[in-house]
Amino acid sequence: MAGAHIEADGLRVYYEVYGDGEPLLLLHGGTATCRSWSSHLPAFIEHFRVFAPDSRGHGRTNNPASELDYRVMADDVAALIRALGLQRPLVLGYSDGGQIALELGMRYPGLARALVLGGTQFRFSAAYLGDARALLGITEGEEVDLERLERDQPDFVGYLRQEHAHVYGPEYWKTYVKQIAALWLTPLRYTPEDLAAVTDPVLILVGDRDGACTEEAPELLRLLRNAELAVAPGSDHGFIEAKASLFDALALDFLLRHRNDPARVSG
């Protein structure tokens, strides 16, 4: 593993690189960092050169804008691809990483060779918003009660304090939680025209018990021009870890079919 920082349009992005071959960019979920991919790396580095960045404001990547926005984070990924000199990488994102990958497809069609959208939505349901508010300890209004969150979910706060202290220190979690709350609770408001702008091949990868993500998946499949749908049985939003080998197998089936393989193309 080689970890480094790189400047990408004013953002100091931390990323780690593994393996050799065609580039595969892994985009982690909300509250996580690039290290969350550790259990999946053996499967992916067997076939690809893997680039795993920390998203804006997460882990070891800074956030000079002091806010989180999926559109801006997609711009960050595009800037990172350019800064690293990657030629049409494959992109796999999960949860918030999937939302960023979807934005990347809408805003930068053709920049990626193909996209895997894991646990991804194209609108936020009332059930999802309720779950997000519960995780963050929001009971009234839209503001996070930091004292209540620390009291009721000390393990979660301890995790945030540890994983996201690298740039701004151990108390940054308080700022981070407020920013992630705004990200999660702001409606997406995508139109069919927005989704029609995605021209890259897409795999929608979802568990069959993943709430709004599962319910929306067939409609998202219809709204995207060139999409496939894989549904993992007996799986909720956490199946990326609960059934990691199944997640990897479903993702790899798609990624290997869409990599830039000269022998396959010439054949």
Question: Quick one: pLDDT at residue 158?
Answer: 97
Sign of CA dihedral 121, 126, 128, 133: positive
| 38-71 pLDDT tens trace | 999 999 999 999 999 999 999 999 999 999 999 9
- pLDDT score at 174: 96
Structure tokens at 36: 């969350």
Look-up of token digits 């706060």: 157
Cα gap 192→190, rounded to integer Å:
7
- Other C-beta atoms closer than 10 Å to the C-beta of 87 total 11
- Residues of the chain scoring pLDDT < 50: 262-267
Q: What is the pLDDT of residue 267?
A: 34
Give residue-wise pLDDT tens across range 73-114.
Answer: 999 999 999 999 999 999 999 999 999 999 999 999 999 999
Whole-number percent of the chain with pLDDT over 70: 97
Instruction: State residue 120's pLDDT score.
Output: 97
Residue 198: CB partners within 8 Å, gap ≥ 6? 102, 105, 106, 109, 115, 224, 225, 226
- Residue 69: burial class (beta carbons within 10 Å; 0-12, 13-18, 19+): middle
Determine the pLDDT at residue 261. 57
pTM: 0.95
Structure tokens at 31: 């509250």
Those residues whose C-beta lies under 8 Å from the C-beta of residue 140, and which sit 6 or more positions away, are none
